[in-house]
């Protein structure tokens, strides 16, 4: 590729996008025949899917090659986004829609008697991530292509991504998701782009040049091969196409053959399995520890492959490395790729002969790091003995960097011993561990949080001491979502209405969405808006009927909480309130209750006992409530299995009420909150993460805020919070808790939830009891708002109009200007 560029190969004019349906139908037939190898008369739906993707893919490839060439010739600075997770979802609709070919392809397939919606359902949902962090990476990739940042995403091509969740007997069952079973028409294998990755072994010191410079040579005892698989990422209107490069692990052949030939068949197989294992599975823990050796191996594997690739690309274009910080911005999505900091140091010093001080300066100018969580259980650290055994040279470099940092800190005279020990890259109390957050911090020129509140808390908590040492590094970049997937594609009805009302400009300039605000009280528009919402709710009602056999009324208030199941996200608060409401409806049948459907969805980490128990509780409560005739259908509860991007695309547009109820101070940002509001749901939420900024944008009258603030949570905890007292003073809460605890919802195993509920009585770390009354009262306020239907939709329209700022295009422009120093 590089040599073709150097010889200034003729730029190929890209295939036209303004093709007619008939022409495209002919292309699809041709692709079906010659690239899938089938005739229309025997083609399966999967074959049609493959042929349709290939017909459009050719157009993407043209643009991809042109984008790459353009960036090369302009000597543009490139952004490398390193992330262990990319929660992509389906790509077909994204690509067709961004190329403006949605209608053409639909009509072309109609001519062939194929239904686009049917084949679209067959495309696997690429779930190479757990939740928000991975989805953010996917939104960022799309926005970088849209706003014109030349970039590469780097990650792992997991054979098994996120597990598929089934609910059996009310409980989560984890099944492998084999998303590559039917092949992946979007990826291009690049066998020639492969790198050796070492593990273990020893470090030898060698003298070079007259005994003056000491060079270290790492002799790994194991090697695996990282092979690149590239997926094009199409920006809006197809103007730019970037690359998502995912690494797959393979055994390094010669070693294996030696062993095999020497008769060590078992050894050869072991080696081969070990190499395969690296890119086999995604760790399914979200905001939770995944502390196994294989995880560290995965982190180093993809970091090393990506850095070798980046250096090779830079060298082949510029012939030297000192300009790297001017031409490459490497971004660390959380600490998962933090070992990259020492890997770059190793490559610069040991392989390319640059001295330590200069290498360290280059490293800091090249890297930037995003912190995603303050939860102590999610802050990565590795035992020193493990780190040293797998990466002996990196361990030396960590010590060397640490010595410098601590010297620097001491020299200021501003730090006492306690502070120095918190700045250290090595945790010394208890088991000695390498702190990956500190490593990422000291190796980066920019450290950002993902909402204003989270960034403030970061300065006061985890990084307080490092912030004092380097006060210019921490900055905020509030998360965003791509409006292409999260409005244009998932909600065609609303998108069409907005376009009718304010014209098409918002499609290209999303800030123009603000013009919708003046239609919020326009009676005709309000009615059309309500009708569009109704259609989306009917669609969800149908999915719920198909998947759960639960019948729900689309005119009821759809109240939705979908996200990973975690105690801090407080699905428990929601279901306890549902139990209290159930009790109220039965005790006061004379009152005018607002019919409500409470939807839940989300996966629990397989090893997270309480999270799985909460799923079971939701299903147990649903079983009782949904069957109870005395509720008269006024309350229904539905747990939708296997929450993923594709399900989110159905549920977000169908929501009236969005549950964003985390314990204040614990949700870094949230992006689900943004998707809901953009699709016209009102938020019931705490002042946590980006909810705070959402309130500032949509206005206090258009959002339902309740509960303790982050500061109040900290104070309550510090001042000896007594949940039992709180519970005893709230009859509704006491009643609901004792019903759950005594087995009303688990009659065959009355003690099933006793410990879970005892946890609230005894410690209640997540402040469920403290926030309950405020939450329940705010739910009743939501009922009152809902009862005045036009007013509700007016508020909902204000939400849509005022969410423009939460586009990930805005976020990416901020990263480009303020962190990466890239012009956009
Ligand atoms: C947006 C999204 C998330 C993140 O949701 P939060 O409510 O911010 O935790 C997780 N999973 C999927 C599939 C998503 O689309």
Whole-number pLDDT of residue 22: 97
| pLDDT confidence band for 315 (50 / 70 / 90) | very high
**Cα 452 from Cα 725, distance rounded (Å):** 33
Q: Where are the alpha helices (DSSP H) in 367-509?
A: 384-390, 392-412, 417-423, 436-442, 452-460, 464-469, 483, 492-502, 505-508
| pLDDT confidence band for 257 (50 / 70 / 90) | low
Q: Compute the distance from residue 160 Cα to the ligand 1 centre, in Å.
A: 19
Q: Which pLDDT tens digit goes with each residue over 275-309?
A: 888 999 999 988 777 779 999 999 999 999 999 99
pTM for this predicted structure? 0.96
Q: Which pLDDT tens digit goes with each residue over 153-169?
A: 999 999 999 999 999 99
Residue 322's SS3 state is: coil
Whole-number pLDDT of residue 5: 47
b/e per residue 590-626 (b: at least 16 CB within 10 A): eeebbbbbbbbbbbbbeebeebbbbbbbbbbbbebbb
Residue located nearest, by CA, to atom 1 of ligand 1: 672
Residue holding tokens 């009743």? 780
Cβ proximity of 415 and 469 under 8 Å? yes
**Is 150 a residue whose pLDDT tops 70?**
yes
Over range 704-731, report the average pLDDT: 98
**Is 4 a residue whose pLDDT tops 80?**
no
Q: Report the 10 Å Cβ neighbour count for 527.
A: 12
- Phi first, then psi: give them for residue 598, nearest 5 degrees: -100, 110
Whole-number pLDDT of residue 217: 94
Max CA pair span of the chain: 95
| pLDDT confidence band for 15 (50 / 70 / 90) | confident
The rounded percent of the chain whose pLDDT value lies above 70 is 96
Q: Which of 372, 533, 612, 798 is catalytic?
A: 372
Q: Which residues line ligand 1 (CB under 6 A)?
A: 87, 131-132, 135, 563-564, 644-645, 648, 670-672, 675
Question: What Cα–Cα distance (Å) separates residue 509 from each residue in 35, 506, 513, 800?
Answer: 38, 5, 8, 15
Question: What Cα–Cα distance (Å) separates residue 306 from each residue in 84, 356, 722?
Answer: 12, 21, 50
- CA-based nearest residue to 584, from 615, 630, 639, 637: 630
Catalytic, 671? Answer: yes
Question: If you write DSSP's letter for every residue of 39-75 in order, what string do you get?
Answer: -TTT--HHHHHHHHHHHHHHHHHHHHHHHHHHHHHTT
For a pocket test of ligand 1, which of 574, 648, 679 has the largest count of ligand atoms closer than 8 A to its C-beta?
648
Tokens of 134: 């991975």
Whole-number pLDDT of residue 227: 97
Q: Report the 10 Å Cβ neighbour count for 353.
A: 13
Q: Considering Cα of 48, then 50, then 54, then 60, what sign does the dihedral take?
A: positive
748 membership: H or E segment, kind and range? none
Residue located nearest, by CA, to atom 6 of ligand 1: 672
Q: Compute the distance from residue 154 Cα to the ligand 1 centre, in Å.
A: 21
Whole-number pLDDT of residue 3: 45
List the chain domain ranges.
14-74+93-122, 75-90+125-478+813-820, 483-806
**Cα 334 from Cα 340, distance rounded (Å):** 12
Whole-number pLDDT of residue 255: 58
Q: Compute the distance from residue 40 Cα to the ligand 1 centre, in Å.
A: 39
Q: Which pLDDT tens digit goes with each residue over 477-507?
A: 999 999 999 999 999 999 999 999 999 999 9
Tokens of 515: 């013009």
**Is 73 a residue whose pLDDT tops 50?**
yes
Cβ proximity of 197 and 218 under 8 Å? no
Whole-number pLDDT of residue 7: 46
- CA-based nearest residue to 494, from 539, 517, 528: 528
Give the gyration radius of the chain's Cα atoms: 27
Cβ proximity of 620 and 612 under 8 Å? no
- CA-based nearest residue to 601, from 554, 540, 555, 531: 540
For a pocket test of ligand 1, which of 88, 89, 563, 679 has the largest count of ligand atoms closer than 8 A to its C-beta?
563
Strand partners, 598: 559, 637
User: To 10 degrees, what angle do helices 21-31 and 102-111 make?
Assistant: 70
Residue located nearest, by CA, to atom 7 of ligand 1: 672
**Is 545 a residue whose pLDDT tops 60?**
yes
Q: Compute the distance from residue 400 Cα to the ligand 1 centre, in Å.
A: 39
**Is 152 a residue whose pLDDT tops 60?**
yes
| pLDDT confidence band for 1 (50 / 70 / 90) | very low
- CA-based nearest residue to 372, from 131, 111, 642, 34: 131
Q: Report the 10 Å Cβ neighbour count for 419.
A: 16
Whole-number pLDDT of residue 211: 62
**Is 75 a residue whose pLDDT tops 90?**
yes
Cβ proximity of 685 and 569 under 8 Å? no
- Helix/strand/coil (H, E, C) string of 340-390? HHHHHHHHHHHHCCCCHHHHHHHHHHHEEEECCCCCHHHCCEEEHHHHHHH
Q: Compute the distance from residue 562 Cα to the ligand 1 centre, in Å.
A: 7
Over range 382-409, report the average pLDDT: 98
Over range 136-158, report the average pLDDT: 98
Query: Cβ contacts of residue 278 below 8 Å, gap of 6+?
Result: 156, 224, 249, 294, 297, 298, 301
Over range 76-102, report the average pLDDT: 96
Looking at ligand 1, which atom is closest to the CA of residue 644?
13
Catalytic, 569? Answer: yes
**Cα 681 from Cα 786, distance rounded (Å):** 12
Over range 348-372, report the average pLDDT: 97
Burial class (CB in 10 A: 0-12, 13-18, 19+), 791: middle
Q: Which of 93, 288, 336, 563 is catalytic?
A: 563
Residue 379's SS3 state is: coil
Over range 269-279, report the average pLDDT: 82
Looking at ligand 1, which atom is closest to the CA of residue 675?
1
**Cα 433 from Cα 414, distance rounded (Å):** 25
**Cα 39 from Cα 37, distance rounded (Å):** 7
- CA-based nearest residue to 453, from 685, 716, 661, 690: 690
Q: Compute the distance from residue 14 Cα to the ligand 1 centre, in Å.
A: 36
**Cα 440 from Cα 106, distance rounded (Å):** 47
Whole-number pLDDT of residue 10: 57
Residue holding tokens 């049948």? 589
Q: Which pLDDT tens digit goes with each residue over 563-573?
A: 999 999 999 99
Whole-number pLDDT of residue 272: 75
Residue located nearest, by CA, to atom 3 of ligand 1: 132
**Cα 369 from Cα 379, distance rounded (Å):** 14
Whole-number pLDDT of residue 352: 96
- Nearest-5° Cα angle at 425, 423 to 426: 110
Residue located nearest, by CA, to atom 11 of ligand 1: 131
Residue holding tokens 């009718």? 500
**Is 259 a residue whose pLDDT tops 80?**
no
**Are the folds of 75-90+125-478+813-820 and 483-806 the same?**
yes
216 membership: H or E segment, kind and range? strand 213-219
Whole-number pLDDT of residue 368: 98
Looking at ligand 1, which atom is closest to the CA of residue 674?
8
Over range 232-243, report the average pLDDT: 96
**Cα 114 from Cα 102, distance rounded (Å):** 14
Tokens of 527: 């009615």
**Is 39 a residue whose pLDDT tops 50?**
yes
Whole-number pLDDT of residue 2: 44
To the nearest 10°, report the CA torsion of 197, 199, 201, 202: 80
Q: Compute the distance from residue 674 Cα to the ligand 1 centre, in Å.
A: 10
**Is 213 a residue whose pLDDT tops 70?**
no
b/e per residue 438-465 (b: at least 16 CB within 10 A): bbbbbbbbbbbbbbbbbbebbbeebbeb
Q: Terminal CA-to-CA distance of the chain, rounded, Å?
A: 26
Domain 75-90+125-478+813-820, CATH: 3.40.50.2000
Whole-number pLDDT of residue 263: 72
Q: Which of 364, 569, 636, 795 is catalytic?
A: 569
Residue located nearest, by CA, to atom 10 of ligand 1: 131
Q: Compute the distance from residue 653 Cα to the ligand 1 centre, in Å.
A: 14
Catalytic, 675? Answer: yes
Q: Which pLDDT tens digit goes with each residue over 647-664?
A: 999 999 999 999 999 999
Q: Which of 671, 778, 794, 811 is catalytic?
A: 671
Whole-number pLDDT of residue 573: 98
- CA-based nearest residue to 286, from 560, 571, 84: 84
Whole-number pLDDT of residue 18: 87
Instruction: State the fold for domain 483-806.
Output: Rossmann fold (3.40.50)
Question: If you write DSSP's letter for every residue of 420-457 in order, what string do you get?
Answer: HHHHSSEE-SSS-EEEHHHHHHHT-SEEEESSHHHHHH
Tokens of 300: 């180093």
């Amino acid at each position: 590729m590089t040599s073709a560029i150097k010889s200034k190969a003729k730029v190929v004019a890209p295939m036209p996008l303004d093709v007619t349906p008939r022409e495209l139908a002919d292309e699809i037939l041709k692709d079906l025949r010659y690239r899938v190898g089938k005739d229309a008369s025997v083609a399966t739906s999967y074959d049609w899917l493959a042929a349709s993707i290939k017909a459009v893919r050719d157009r993407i490839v043209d643009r991809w090659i042109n984008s790459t060439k353009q960036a090369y010739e302009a000597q543009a600075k490139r952004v490398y986004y390193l992330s262990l997770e990319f929660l992509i979802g389906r790509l077909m609709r994204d690509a067709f829609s961004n190329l403006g070919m949605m209608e053409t392809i639909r009509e072309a397939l109609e001519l062939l008697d194929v239904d686009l919606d049917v084949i679209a359902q067959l495309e696997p949902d690429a779930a190479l991530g757990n939740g928000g962090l991975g989805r953010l990476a996917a939104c960022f990739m799309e926005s970088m292509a849209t706003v014109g940042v030349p970039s590469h995403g780097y990650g792992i091509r997991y054979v098994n991504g996120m597990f598929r969740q089934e609910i059996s007997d009310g409980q989560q069952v984890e099944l492998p998701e084999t998303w590559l079973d039917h092949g992946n028409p979007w990826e291009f294998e690049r066998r020639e782009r492969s790198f050796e990755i070492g593990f273990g072994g020893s470090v030898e010191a060698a003298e070079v040049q007259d005994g003056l410079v000491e060079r270290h040579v790492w002799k790994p005892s194991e090697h695996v091969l990282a092979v690149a698989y590239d997926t094009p990422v199409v920006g809006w209107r197809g103007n730019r196409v970037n690359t998502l490069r995912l690494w797959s692990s393979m055994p390094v052949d010669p070693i294996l053959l030696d062993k095999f030939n020497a008769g060590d068949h078992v050894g050869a197989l072991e080696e081969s399995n070990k190499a395969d294992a690296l890119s086999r599975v995604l760790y399914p823990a979200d905001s939770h520890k995944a502390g196994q050796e294989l995880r560290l191996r995965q982190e180093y594997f993809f970091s090393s492959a990506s850095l070798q690739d980046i250096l090779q690309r830079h060298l082949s274009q510029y012939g030297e490395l000192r300009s790297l910080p001017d031409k490459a911005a490497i971004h660390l999505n959380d600490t998962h790729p933090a070992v990259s900091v020492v890997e770059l140091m190793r490559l610069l010093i040991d392989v390319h002969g640059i001295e330590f001080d200069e290498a360290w300066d280059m490293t800091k100018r090249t890297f930037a790091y995003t912190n995603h969580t303050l939860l102590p259980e999610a802050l990565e650290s590795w035992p020193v003995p493990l780190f040293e055994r797998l990466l002996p040279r990196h361990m030396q470099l960590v010590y060397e960097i640490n010595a410098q940092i601590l010297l620097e800190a001491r020299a200021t005279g501003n730090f006492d011993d306690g502070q120095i020990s918190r700045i250290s890259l090595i945790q010394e109390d208890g088991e000695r561990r390498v702190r990956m957050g500190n490593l990422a911090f000291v190796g980066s020129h920019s450290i950002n949080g993902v909402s204003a509140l989270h960034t403030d808390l970061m300065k006061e908590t985890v990084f307080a001491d490092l912030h004092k040492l380097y006060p210019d590094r921490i900055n905020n970049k509030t998360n965003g979502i791509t409006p292409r997937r999260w409005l244009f594609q998932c909600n065609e009805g609303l998108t069409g209405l907005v376009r009718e009302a304010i014209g098409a400009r918002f499609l290209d300039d999303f800030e123009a969405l603000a013009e919708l605000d003046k239609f919020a009280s326009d009676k005709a528009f309000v009615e059309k808006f309500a009708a569009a919402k109704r259609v989306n709710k009917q669609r969800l009602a149908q999915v719920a009927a198909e998947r759960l056999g639960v019948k729900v009324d689309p005119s009821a208030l759809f109240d939705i909480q979908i996200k990973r199941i975690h105690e801090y996200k407080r699905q428990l608060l929601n279901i306890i309130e549902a139990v209290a409401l159930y009790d109220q409806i039965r005790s006061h049948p004379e009152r005018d209750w607002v019919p409500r459907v409470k939807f839940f969805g989300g996966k629990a980490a397989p090893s997270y006992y309480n999270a799985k128990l909460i799923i079971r509780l939701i299903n147990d409560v649903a079983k009782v409530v949904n069957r109870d005739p005395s509720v008269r259908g006024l309350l229904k509860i539905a747990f939708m299995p296997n929450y993923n991007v594709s399900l989110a695309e159905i549920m977000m547009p169908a929501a009236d009420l969005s549950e964003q109820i985390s314990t204040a101070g614990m949700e870094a940002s949230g992006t689900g909150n943004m998707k809901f509001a953009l699709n016209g749901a009102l938020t019931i939420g705490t002042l946590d993460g980006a909810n705070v900024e959402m309130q500032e944008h949509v206005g206090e009258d258009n959002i339902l805020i309740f509960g303790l603030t982050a500061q109040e949570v900290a104070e309550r905890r510090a001042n000896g919070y007594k949940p039992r007292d709180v519970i005893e003073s709230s009859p509704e809460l006491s009643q609901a808790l004792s019903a759950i605890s005594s087995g009303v919802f688990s009659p065959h195993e009355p003690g099933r939830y006793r410990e879970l509920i005892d946890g609230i009585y005894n410690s209640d770390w997540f402040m469920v009891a403290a926030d309950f009354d405020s939450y329940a009262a705010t739910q009743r306020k939501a009922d009152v708002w809902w009862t005045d239907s036009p007013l509700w939709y007016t508020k909902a329209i204000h939400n849509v109009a005022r969410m423009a700022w939460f586009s990930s295009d805005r976020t990416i422009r901020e990263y480009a200007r303020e962190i990466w120093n890239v012009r956009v």
